């Protein structure tokens, strides 16, 4: 009898330990979809462990080998989830969650950061020698201002990273528009890597985003900076681990702080200490001093009324009424931390082009 009780106690302890691997997230979850992160030092491949779950009825859309070691999985049975949690190679599992692009469709912002002037006066080359990942809704391949160097999509139902929303194209223009027609970016002509993780509505899954970061990490030798103009009021250990490992591989990550007018510590990836988190400022005259006219989101040189704020914010950049590239070889004027972050991404790329061996911490 005592042996039976001991066995039951051990079984209950093992069950409790397995369940403790399932992380809780404060966000809108995607039903029956999870991100599995393996322990450091596990010798068995992520593909092999994922295949075990597939054999039990799971569907694995992504396997991660670079930014993290693990996989995303869709399951219909708790038995499959329990088998994953019981695997000693698994570090933790978290529910997949929805993530949204930050933007408010509504320019002096470029003048404020000294962007186009550095090109026009010849202090920087017209084609900046840097690789920049735009992890977003994609980029309009046909836009004459944008140098799309590589493209890949991780959105189900799409085969290319050609933009079907406009958000990613707008971000790309602020970073690197060539200035041939209607807009010039901070790092004109830089090599843009269009990495589509958000769909035509500007929404994506955390698992797709991590796959995008995994791809960036795999190509860290060619990508200097990555722009993430999206997020959620959430926490994700898997996302933080992926970003941290990608930064360690040499990629500078710049992210939008968010448009909720809240403390950025509540938002991911803005709260990650290894990223450059960018708030939006209202700038109406391209000059310091706060003497410009009122903007729709506050006085000149003030924090934009929609912008997130707080100790997690690294820097503020112009984010009100920003002129940039858009779908169909057109142009648009946008507001949001989504359009503030690319100013900093472009500046980071410029720095990398002049200091190729600089680490993300030095940037």
Question: Where do the structural domains in the chain lie, given as residue ranges?
Answer: 2-97, 100-354
C-alpha 328/C-alpha 199 separation (Å) is 17
pLDDT band of 3, cuts 50, 70, 90: low
**pLDDT above 70: percentage of residues in the chain:** 88
CA 11/CA 20 separation, integer angstroms:
14
**Stated length of the chain:** 363
Amino acid 26: pLDDT: 84
- Active-site positions? 136, 167, 338
Residue 237: CB atoms within 10 A of its CB come to 16
Can you give the pLDDT at residue 76? Answer: 84
Please give the Cα distance from 55 to 259 (Å, whole number): 43
What's the pLDDT at 277?
A: 98
- Residue 125 makes CB contacts below 8 A (sequence gap 6+) with none
CA nearest to 34, candidates 68, 67, 76 = 76
Report the alpha-carbon angle 274-236-48, nearest 5.
105
| CATH architecture of the domain covering 100-354 | 3-Layer(aba) Sandwich (3.40)
* pLDDT of 115 over the 80 cut: no
Q: For the chain, list the strands marked E by DSSP.
A: 29-38, 59-64, 70-74, 90-101, 104-105, 131-136, 148-153, 191-196, 203-205, 225-228, 230-231, 252-256, 276-282, 302-303, 315-318, 322-326, 330-335
Contact 22, 85 (CB under 8 A): yes
pLDDT tens for 251-261 read 999 999 999 99
Extract long-range pairs of 63-66: CB within 8 Å, 24+ residues apart: 64/210, 64/211, 64/214, 64/242, 65/214, 65/218, 66/214, 66/215, 66/217, 66/218, 66/245, 66/246, 66/249
Using alpha carbons, select from 234, 246, 258, 284 the residue that is nearest to residue 96.
234
**Spatial CA neighbour of 352 closest among 176, 173, 172, 150:** 176
| Phi, psi (deg, nearest 5) at residue 213 | -70, -35
Is the pLDDT assigned to residue 157 strictly greater than 60?
yes
Kindly tell me if the per-residue pLDDT of 7 is higher than 60. no
Say which residue the tokens 């290319």 belong to.
Answer: 160
Q: Taking the CB of residue 219, how many other CB atoms lie within 10 A of it?
A: 18
Query: What span, in angstroms and rounded, lies between the C-alpha atoms of 96 and 36?
Result: 10
Phi, psi torsion values for 147, nearest 5 degrees: -95, 85
Q: How many CA atoms lie within 13 A of 241 on its CB side?
A: 22
Query: Within 13 A of 73's CA, how many CA atoms are on the CB side?
Result: 28
Identify the CA nearest to 188 among candidates 144, 147, 229, 221: 147
Mean pLDDT value of segment 277-297: 88
- For residues 4 and 246, which has the higher predicted lDDT (pLDDT)? 246
Angle at 296 between CA 292 and CA 301, to 5 degrees: 35
35-70: pLDDT as tens digits: 999 999 999 999 999 999 999 999 999 999 999 999
Q: What is the pTM of this model?
A: 0.91
Element (H, E) at 6: helix 2-20
Name residue 178's beta-bridge partners. 184
Helix (H, G, I), strand (E, B) or coil at 263: strand
Q: Does domain 2-97 have CATH number 3.10.150.10?
A: no
Place of tokens 């796959």: 211
Average pLDDT, the chain: 90
The Cα 121–Cα 24 span in angstroms is 53
- The model's confidence at residue 1, banded by pLDDT at 50, 70 and 90, is low
Q: d(Cα 200, Cα 50) in Å, to the nearest integer?
A: 29
């Amino acid at each position: 009898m005592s042996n039976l009780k001991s066995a039951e106690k051990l079984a209950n302890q093992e069950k409790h330990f397995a369940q403790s691997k399932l992380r809780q997230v404060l966000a809108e979850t995607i039903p029956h979809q999870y991100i599995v992160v393996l322990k450091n030092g596990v010798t068995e491949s992520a593909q092999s462990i994922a295949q075990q779950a597939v054999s039990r009825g799971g569907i694995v859309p992504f396997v991660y080998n670079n930014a993290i070691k693990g996989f995303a999985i869709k399951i219909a049975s708790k038995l499959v989830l329990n088998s994953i949690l019981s695997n000693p190679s698994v570090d933790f599992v978290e529910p997949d969650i929805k993530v949204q692009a930050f933007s408010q469709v509504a320019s002096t912002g470029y003048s404020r950061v000294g962007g186009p002037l550095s090109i026009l006066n010849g202090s920087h080359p017209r084609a900046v020698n840097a690789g920049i990942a735009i992890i977003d809704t994609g980029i309009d391949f046909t836009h004459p201002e944008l140098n799309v160097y590589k493209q890949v999509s991780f959105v189900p139902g799409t085969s290319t990273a050609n933009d079907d929303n406009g958000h990613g194209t707008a971000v790309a223009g602020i970073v690197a528009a060539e200035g041939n027609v209607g807009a010039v970016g901070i790092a004109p002509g830089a090599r843009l890597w269009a990495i589509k993780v958000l769909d035509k509505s500007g929404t994506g899954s955390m698992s797709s985003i991590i796959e995008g970061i995994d791809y960036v990490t795999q190509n860290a030798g060619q990508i200097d900076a990555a722009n993430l103009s999206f997020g959620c009021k959430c926490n994700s250990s898997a996302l933080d681990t992926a970003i941290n490992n990608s930064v360690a591989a040499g990629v500078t990550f710049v992210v939008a702080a968010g448009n909720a007018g809240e403390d950025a510590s509540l938002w991911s990836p803005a709260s990650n200490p290894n990223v450059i988190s960018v708030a939006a400022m209202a700038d109406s005259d391209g000059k310091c001093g706060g003497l410009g006219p009122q903007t729709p989101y506050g006085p000149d040189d003030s924090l934009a009324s929609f912008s997130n704020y707080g100790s997690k914010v690294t820097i503020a950049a112009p984010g009100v009424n920003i002129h940039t590239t858009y779908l169909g070889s057109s142009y648009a004027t946008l507001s949001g931390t989504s359009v503030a972050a690319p100013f900093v991404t472009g500046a980071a790329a410029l720095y990398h082009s002049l200091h190729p061996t600089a680490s993300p911490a030095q940037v």
